[in-house]
Amino acid sequence: MQHMSVSRREFLKVAGALGLVAATGGSLPLFTACGAKVKTGQTLKVGSMTPSTGPAAEKGKPGQDGLLDCFNYINTELKGVNGHLIEPVWRDSKYDPAVVATIVPEFMDAGCLIFTTHASAEMTAAMAIANPAEFPGISTFTSQTLYHPPKHIYGQMPDYGDDWIAFAKYYLANIWKGTGKPRMALHLLNNSTGKGAEYGADAMADTLGIQIVANEQHTATITSAIDSLTRIKAQNPDVMFISSTPQPTSIILKDAHSLGLYPGITVGCAHASFTSALVQLAGADVSEGVYGVYSTVTWTDNVPGIAKATEYCKKYNSQDFGNMDYLSTWSTGLVIAQILKQALDNVGYDVLAKGDVNSWRAIEKSGIQKLNGYGVEGMTAEVGYVPGDQRLSKSLKMYRITGGNITSIGNWIAAPYIKYEDYSWFPKS
């Protein structure tokens, strides 16, 4: 299959650069560097999908680049994980659930030890196959339905409900100057990206003291938001929260400008759309002053992970420089490597070698669930597993678009655990 040869070709290019394999392929000879040996032929296969084409390509392609560049960094400079190279098996989901349903069995059949999705919508389709098989998955962007109740899917970062709660608390503490309850409108993508924010509002709006006055939904291929924004404007909101991807969000912002709705009200965004692609699509003038929540640091932060991500991005995918989606999946790559390291340290390579259900159980129990205080090279808040809480990173940061740049306006904000499955309105899986 053509898409299989792409991932293999990329892996062989890295392996060839290390002197591990001839240009035409073959077995991996012993390699020694800095006293460490790369194990002959003992690779660690990781399945990875991103929506690199289709309606979320403005997110997916930088996400693909960040993840594969990070694996390149791990293999080239760190000589893999405990001497084992990561062999990525990458697929383009096209942001299509039907395509996702064909990819997950391929990952399992290929002997992948774990798989990643970029988007919560991808994982929503994937988990129907992965959970019954006990095939562990990590989603970079997450919604609560992926892991409430807990099964075999984990989130690299806090979910869209956490986004809404973090923004709502920030808004109440730092922006709202009125009396009574502020009136909030929601504009949500009609999949797990939007539903996640809605669940957060359902759980916490009354407790925080926010009145939800409108809940409009849109598709990933929206071309106009005039009708929905006209309805929102009629409700006289103080603030609007958008949980979507960059392209639809840019249309909502531009139409809010044309209707005179924004500037005037406060606008906040969940992390799925809050990246440089949003500024480029909406325009710096239209997006000026918009708030957003994100789970990584920015390109200007002085942390080890940013220095290395910058180096690889500029060398291999310079078009992505400044894009937060690249950083989100670079972080995923680092977390995956740490999971593999934990599993290798705890059970050894022989348990993982078959890439079967026993290997998957070892990855989950002796890898994912052994994470504790991993620093992700400063890219995110510390990562760790807490029983019952499938979110590996549990803190977010607030940002604001200023002068066309995404600018930090605060420190890490803890996202407390909410047991959504205890709410009667939460969907039962």
Q: Which has the closest alpha carbon to 342: 290, 378, 392, 381?
A: 392
Per residue in 89-148, pLDDT (tens digit) is 999 999 999 999 999 999 999 999 999 999 999 999 999 999 999 999 999 999 999 999
User: What is the Cα–Cα distance from 7 to 318, expressed in whole angstroms?
Assistant: 20
How many residues would you count in the chain?
429
State the Cα–Cα distance between residues 125 and 146, nearest whole angstrom: 10
pLDDT computed for residue 40 by the predictor: 67
Phi/psi for 256 (5° steps) reads: -65, -35
170 beta partners: none
Confirm or reject CATH 3.40.640.10 for domain 2-158+300-393, answering yes or no.
no
- In CATH, what number does 160-294+397-422 get? 3.40.50.2300
Digitized pLDDT (tens) for each residue of the chain, 429 residues in all: 334 334 445 554 545 444 443 332 332 322 223 345 777 689 999 999 999 999 999 999 999 999 999 999 999 999 999 999 999 999 999 999 999 999 999 999 999 999 999 999 999 999 999 999 999 999 999 999 999 999 999 999 999 999 999 999 999 999 999 999 999 999 999 999 999 999 999 999 999 999 999 999 999 999 999 999 999 999 999 999 999 999 999 999 999 999 999 999 999 999 999 999 999 999 999 999 999 999 999 999 999 999 999 999 999 999 999 999 999 999 999 999 999 999 999 999 999 999 999 999 999 999 999 999 999 999 999 999 999 999 999 999 999 999 999 999 988 999 999 999 999 999 986
> For residue 312, which amino acid is it?
Y
Measured CA to CA in angstroms, residue 16 lies from 31, 64, 200, 421 at distances of 11, 21, 48, 48
> Would you kindly state where each structural domain of the chain is located, as residue ranges?
2-158+300-393, 160-294+397-422
What pLDDT digit, counting tens, does each position of 46-55 carry?
A: 999 999 999 9
Q: In the prediction, which pLDDT does 41 show?
A: 80
How far apart are alpha carbons 152 and 147 in whole angstroms?
A: 8
pLDDT of residue 410: 86
Q: CA end-to-end span of the chain, whole Å?
A: 34
Supply the pLDDT for residue 23: 30
- Please work out, in degrees rounded to the nearest 5, the angle formed at the alpha carbon of residue 101 by the alpha carbons of 98 and 103: 115
Residue 247 DSSP SS3: helix
Structure tokens at 199: 């669940």
C-alpha–C-alpha distance, residues 419 and 143, integer Å: 13
Is the Cα torsion angle 195, 198, 200, 203 positive or negative in sign? negative
Which of 167, 182, 186, 170 is closest to 243 using CA atoms? 186
Is pTM beyond 0.85 here? yes
For 1, residues 6+ apart whose C-beta sits below 8 A from its C-beta are: none
